[in-house]
Structure 1
Amino acid sequence: MGYRERSWWGWGHADEALDDAACRRLAERALRPWLPIDGSVIPLPFDPLLPPPRLIPPSIMAEAFLADSMSRAAHAYGKAFRDVVRALHGELPNPPDLVCLPRTVHDIVAALDWAEAAGAAVVPYGGGSSVVGGVEYRGERPWVSLDLSRLNRIAEIDEVNRAVRVQAGVFGPALEEALRPHDLTLRHFPQSFEFSTVGGWLATRSGGHFATGPTRIDDFVEALRVVTPQGPVESPRLPATGAGPDPNGLFLGSEGALGVIVEAWLRVQRRPTLKSSAAVGFPVYSHGVAAVKEIVQAGLRPANCRLLDPVEAMLNAGATDGQARLMLGFEGPDAVLLPGALEICRDHGGTETERSSGSFRDAFLKAPYTRDALVRLGLIVETVETACTWSHFEALHADVLAAAQRAAPARVAVVTCRFTHVYPDGPAPYFTIITPGRRGAEVAIWDEIKAAVSDAITSNGGTITHHHAVGRDHRPWYDGERSPLFHDALRAAKRTLDPRGILNPGVLV
């Protein structure tokens, strides 16, 4: 397959973005009946105007650095709503001064040594799909975006022990393509799968597409290799160990603030051949919640167990009957368990509607492109996600919906909810918020809504993030979620591994 240009300002491939005509059709057919919009489309940005670089790359590895405006602009932000809006408006006041693309671990060591001497911050960058400000430096120092995409070697596939040794810059599709001839799969498919890397998954503790475990990247990690400003750290390759705290756990989710993850051994499995799926309608949303709770607490482990509220079901699954939808799917040996799950659904008033959930999968993959089109039409479109216990869900759900409505302009907002993951002790609710914006004030409006719903989440016993990471956007609530003594310990680790504080300053600590 030939090269396809990535969008520097928005999601994914540039040629899949909706053009002006498609944006207008979307406005006329899908939006005008229920949201006030003015019909104008924000034009696409072309050549970004950036301040000149404040750094000169070291001559000994100058070929590893880029200083052109397009490369710097493409590494300035992640892909959250506030990132897309600012890029569309050409607001890039603090792009990276340089982009470094190391080819070897030695290059990373040399780049970190140079950055320390130059007083520059270094922000590790995988696929750039962060939606929480994880790759955007907001400080005063000159900074370098450390793009690991050239560390893209799959070093070893161990069929005996079912593991793969892979460098951090390998993208999801490349990993799965390498495993396919061996009938193996990592089975980790976040929504960003096509545009995110193994290192990014590890650094953010990403969650995969599957609703029950194993689904988080944590579940697949056997060993890590990390480069810190003070030297390398490698964990032993073991199936399990009780020898003290887990060294992998220190770096999983550290978002590049403690070290640069350069390689990992990951557990893989045989590709499933048996699959079964169905969609179930629930006239009463709370009955669907009760059915999901019983399914997962009964020991059933569906690969897909997404409960969509009625509005979400209408928008993303094409349901027009006003019912909630539960998308159920089982794989491998568990495929025979679908009838048992359907029986539980019937006990809670559910009715099977179809034996396929493909329409939702398609919407799942296309959603970020549609989001970008809605942003160009002047709408505020963003998501928040969390996890909570079953006993907290009802109050959390009600308070998040109310908080979003109160904070939205003119109190007009469409707020939907679906479960992305489910556990015996609670769900992971994922909320989508759509509201009209005011041209030029979109970021300020979203920040106000984000603060209101984040307060509602944490005050009702939810985590500030289930799988989107902390970044810079979640820091205020993350600080309150962990004890002061834990933060002291985390800061001590930062001082030990990165004493000059050059790695991703502002993230986590």
Structure 2
Amino acid sequence: MAPRKLKFWGWGYEDGLSPQIQKQVEAAMAHRFGVSEWRTTPPPTMEEIPLNPARLSIPQTLQHLCSNDPFERLSHTYGKSYRDVVRAFRRDFKNAPDIVAFPRTEEDLINILDWCNQINAAAIIYGGGTSVVGGVEAVIGEQYSGAVSIDLRNLNQVLEVDGISRAAKIQAGIRGPAMESQLKEYGLSLRFFPQSFEFSTLGGWIATRAGGHFATLHTHIDDLVESLRVITPKGVVETRRLPGSGAGPSPDRLFIGSEGTLGIITEAWVRLQDRPIHRTSASVRFPDFQSGVKAVRRLSQSGLYPSNCRLLDPGETGDSGAGDGQSAVLMLGFESHDHLLDIWMIRALECCKEFGGTYHPDAIKTNQDSSIRREGAAETWRNAFIQAPYFRDVMVGLGVIVETFETAVTWNRFEEFHNGVMEAAQKAIREISGLNGWVTCRITHVYPDGPAPYYTVKALGKKGSELEQWDEIKAAVSEAIIHLGGTITHHHAVGRDHRPWYDQQRPPLYASALQAVKQTLDPNYILNPGILID
């Protein structure tokens, strides 16, 4: 049986959606936008792409590790953002890397990095290629001899498991499913499931400070990193494995979120959990979004720490099929390896009832087998969530602008912040060529001091101008986010797309300190040029 083939131009596998489902997406969008017939742009084929000749020649000593195969070069040109897919549909791959390298060992990686340094080639670190902020694109200018995309897919093993401390040393290029499969035999799990889980890597999660499965408590990969091993152009940095330390600024934190600009993460010791065997979940309806927000704040400050605490506004419930489009819906869940969870759920539902939350007793799902398929609104939303990137690729071909932005802000600012961001997004949609569209919101993660709202924009773009229209919407909402006190990104990283607003958020003196670190670890500035640091 032939292996499934990944798209070189978009999300996931070429057969990720059946033709029938694609037609359903087209019909649903036609209904929402009032379109009688779509002028569909077909996805690109390799034969259509005018790929630039490679500027670099692979040295004999690295022939077995490197490739200039057109498919590999095209596949490593972009991440998976809306901007990336639109440009792929335009057959624009002018920033394709010249060479793609596939190191199998740390020694291979060091040799590749030394070669890049010697010939002044940019080294672009590539995990699963799921960046949605322009984090893997070789936009390097003329000061480099070329670009080498360094793909870590061969560094994909769980190397050591410490069952006593519940931790494991794992190579950075491992994808989510392979990691969980290898940990399963020990009865352990990282329990970190971003939307990109199927294709993204441990090293990518760490380098981008990714957000995962849990809506409270262990929300970011930061919380799960025990120590790191990093290859830099100046040598190896390996941090001490400790449960906690007060010995100065944390060296791990220097590389967590560094987005491949300071070094290449090759291994990490990460904190694990026993695989859950007890689960309970419920869907709670609220008459309006703000009532749900108040309930979520109460839950976040209660010390209950639900694993799932995702609030969908009415528009989000309608789009996903998780509700009627009139009410807000809270997806609430708890899980544990150790204890039954009924008392936690009872108390959480009491908190929801204080703010008008209603639920049907039959909607509470409890089981002691994590393999049992969950049902109801939560499972409907989860399925839509997992398939959303595939749907997005279909919509790009229709000329629909469909993209997201996410942030975080403190509770005392949230109402003003949310209203301001929604107004900015809706105004931008209306004013840019009179676009027909809407904005929805869900809260994905919550903390005792604030939520992380996640917004989705859908608009009917002008054929041939969708990218430019989205850029204008993006600029408007990003300015609003920064002006109203939020962060430009809660868990999607900075990349190139967020850079102008990251520079506003970042304290100037800290930026100078980061430059000094860059000059120490990567004095020739070959690692991911233009990301985080000029």
TM-score range, shorter chain: over 0.9
1:371/1:381 contact within 8 Å kept: yes
Structure 2 SS opposite 1:194: coil
The one-letter code matched in structure 2 to 1:340 is: R
Partner of 1:8: 8
Corresponding position of 1:480? 504
Query: Structure 1's 255 and 35: CA in aligned 2 closer, same or farther, altered over 3 A?
Result: farther
Task: Give the residue type in structure 2 aligned to 1:128.
Answer: G
Q: Within the alignment, does 1:87 sit opposite 2:88 as a pair?
A: yes
Match of 1:369 in 2: 390
Equivalent position to 1:162, from 160, 166, 169: 166
| CA positional deviation for 1:18 | 5.0
Task: Determine the structure 1 residue equivalent to 2:215.
Answer: 211
Task: Please tell me whether residue 320 in structure 1 is matched to residue 334 in structure 2.
Answer: no
Alignment match, 2:367: none
Q: 1:296, 1:2 → 2: CA distance?
A: 47
Q: Which residue in the other structure is 1:67 paired with?
A: 68
Question: Which deviations, in whole Å up to 9, do the C-alpha atoms of 1:423-477 show, x marking residues without a partner?
Answer: 0000000000000111211111111110100111111110000000000111111
> Is the Cα–Cα contact under 8 Å of residues 168 and 200 in structure 1 kept in the other structure?
yes
The 1-side partners of 2:3 and 2:458 are apart by 34
Q: Match for residue 341 of structure 2?
A: 335
Shift of 1:215: 2.5
**Alignment pair present for 1:403 and 2:424:** yes
Instruction: Name the SS for the 1:32 alignment partner.
Output: helix
Distance 1:183 1:94, change over 3 A: same
Secondary structure class of the residue paired with 2:173: coil
Pick one of 347, 352, 355 that aligns with 1:345.
352
Instruction: For residue 500 of structure 1, give the secondary structure of its aligned residue in structure 2.
Output: coil
2:408 aligned to which of 359, 379, 387 = 387
Deviates more, 1:21-30 or 1:87-96: 21-30
1:17 alignment partner in structure 2: 17
- Give secondary structure in 2 for the equivalent of 1:15: coil
Using the TM superposition, give the Cα deviation of residue 2 of structure 1 relative to its aligned residue in structure 2, in angstroms.
6.3
Q: Which residue of 1 aligns with 2:180?
A: 176
Q: Could you say which residue in structure 1 is the equivalent of 2:123?
A: 122
| Unaligned 5+ runs, structure 1 | none
Q: Could you give the per-residue CA deviations for residues 12-32 of structure 1, whole angstroms, max 9, x where no partner exists?
A: 11111354x643442224432
Q: CA deviation at 1:393?
A: 1.2
Deviation for aligned residue 1:38: 4.8
What is the TM-score of this pair, normalised by structure 2?
A: 0.93
Query: 3-state DSSP class of the match of 2:191?
Result: coil
Please say if residues 405 and 411 of structure 1, whose CA atoms lie closer than 8 Å, have aligned partners that are also in contact: no
Alpha-carbon separation, structure 1, partners of 2:94 and 2:194: 31
Measured against aligned partners, the alpha-carbon deviations of 1:388-413 in whole angstroms (never above 9, x if no partner) come to 00111112211222111222231532
- Say if 2:471 is the partner of 1:469: no
**Per-residue Cα deviation, 1:105-159 (whole angstroms, up to 9, x for no partner):** 1111111111111111001000000000000121223101010001112111111
Letter in 1 for 2:43: L
Aligned to 1:191: 195
Aligned to 1:326, the other structure's residue is in SS state: strand
| Equivalent in the alignment of 2:294 | 290
CA contact (8 A) 1:388 1:461 kept: yes
Amino acid at match of 1:395: E
Match of 2:260 among 247, 256, 259: 256
Letter in 2 for 1:338: M
Secondary structure, counterpart of 1:287 in structure 2 = helix
Question: Is the counterpart of residue 240 in structure 1 residue 224 in structure 2?
Answer: no
8 A Cα contact 2:288 2:314, kept in partner = no
Report whether the alignment pairs 1:421 with 2:422: no
| Partner Cα separation in structure 2 for residue 40 and residue 24 of structure 1 | 14
Q: Which runs of 5+ in 2 are unaligned?
A: 365-375
Matched residue count: 508
1:317 Cα deviation from its structure 2 partner: 3.7
Say if 1:415 and 1:432, in contact at 8 Å, map to a contact too: yes
Asked if residue 220 in structure 1 is aligned to residue 224 in structure 2, the reply is: yes
Q: Give the drift of 1:97.
A: 0.4
Show the 5 A alignment for 1:440-455: 440-455=464-479
After the TM superposition, which segments of 4 or more aligned residues of structure 1 sit over 4 Å from their partners?
Answer: 35-38
**Secondary structure, counterpart of 1:122 in structure 2:** strand
Is contact 1:8–1:74 with CA below 8 Å preserved after alignment? yes
Classify 1:422/1:89 alpha carbon distance in 2 versus 1 (closer, same or farther; 3 Å): same
- Residue 50 of structure 2: aligned partner: 49
CA–CA distance in structure 2, aligned partners of residues 35 and 200 of structure 1: 40
Give the superposed CA RMSD: 1.4
Deviates more, 1:305-314 or 1:405-414: 405-414
Structure 2 distance, partners of 1:206, 1:33, is 32
Give 1:361 shift. Answer: 1.2
The one-letter code sitting in structure 2 at the alignment partner of 1:342 is L
Cα 1:188/1:334, change in 2 over 3 Å: farther
- Counterpart-to-counterpart distance in 1, 2:34 and 2:422: 17
Q: Which amino acid aligns with 1:95?
A: A
Q: Which amino acid aligns with 1:376?
A: G
- The offset of 1:49, in angstroms, is 2.5
Q: So what's the TM-score if we normalise by structure 1?
A: 0.97
Answer yes or no: is 1:300 the counterpart of 2:304. Answer: yes
Partner of 2:369: none
1:491 equivalent in structure 2: 515
**Alpha-carbon separation, structure 2, partners of 1:249 and 1:452:** 31
1:79 Cα deviation after fit: 0.1
Q: 1:42 to 1:18 in 2, by over 3 A?
A: farther
- Residue 33 of structure 1, CA deviation: 3.8
2: CA distance, partners of 1:405 / 1:364: 23
